[in-house]
Structure 1
């Protein structure tokens, strides 16, 4: 994965690790999944989180006090076959993660892959 602003990403990860160490593992898992979703994925710091893009942003990861969210700007277009998407806004949807195990149990890779495919298609 190409980092648009490697120093900013590393600084944010260090901050998350120092203040919410238990959530850093979740953020790192999300980064790996986003990187594996396809060629040309870049990451950059925006809105207090890490945004992933190809030709456009397709998702972002944000660490809060007790959980991590993965945000999908066009989440309304994702097929919610596992009923994990939250949010009832016009476009955005998100998935909340409280533990590293939820990355798999909530089928996050499927949602990120869908978002990547929509962004590149």
Structure 2
């Protein structure tokens, strides 16, 4: 883990322990989604890439957001993707259980597969 990522996580801890734990878990899911996944702090969050970037995690006062650059093209079998932009979609996490309940790992894996096929 790079120093910038460590600092970002410590900053998130200032928002609240729940946000910190959610962001850390999403980070673990993204990094373990496939080989060659890298991370960098950018745009106020952590972006994950395997060549092209495929998702990011951002923390706010009341939630954590998992962002997908090309989320409009992702399948949404659980109906949890939010947003109406041309490309991006996100999943809002308000509680740690949302990570499992909203099947976040499935969406991260789909986004990685999609990015790998570009």
Q: TM-score, normalised by structure 2?
A: 0.96
Which of 41, 44, 48 is the matching residue for 1:52? Answer: 48
Question: How is 1:59-74 mapped onto 2 (pairs within 5 angstroms)?
Answer: 59-74=55-70
How far does residue 35 in structure 1 lie from its aligned partner after superposition? 1.1
Q: What's the counterpart of residue 81 of structure 2?
A: 85
Match of 2:11 among 11, 15, 22: 15
Q: Cα deviation per residue 1:59-82 (whole Å; 9 max; x = unaligned)?
A: 000000100000000001100000
The correspondence for 1:42, drawn from 38, 45, 55, is 38
Q: Give, in whole Å, the separation in 2 of the partners of 1:71 and 1:20.
A: 20
Cα distance in 1, alignment partners of residues 38 and 60 from structure 2: 22
Does the residue aligned with 2:108 lie in a helix, a strand or coil? helix
Whether the 8 Å CA contact 2:15–2:60 is kept in 1: the answer is no
Aligned to 2:96: 100
Distance 1:28 1:68 in 2: 10
In the other structure, the counterpart of 2:72 is: 76
Matched, 1:31 2:18: no
**Number of residue pairs matched by the alignment:** 117
Name segments (4+ residues, structure 1) moved above 4 Å: none
Counterparts of 1:11 and 1:25, CA distance in 2:
15
Distance in 1 between the 2:95 and 2:23 partners?
Answer: 10
What stretches of structure 2 of length at least 5 have no aligned partner?
none
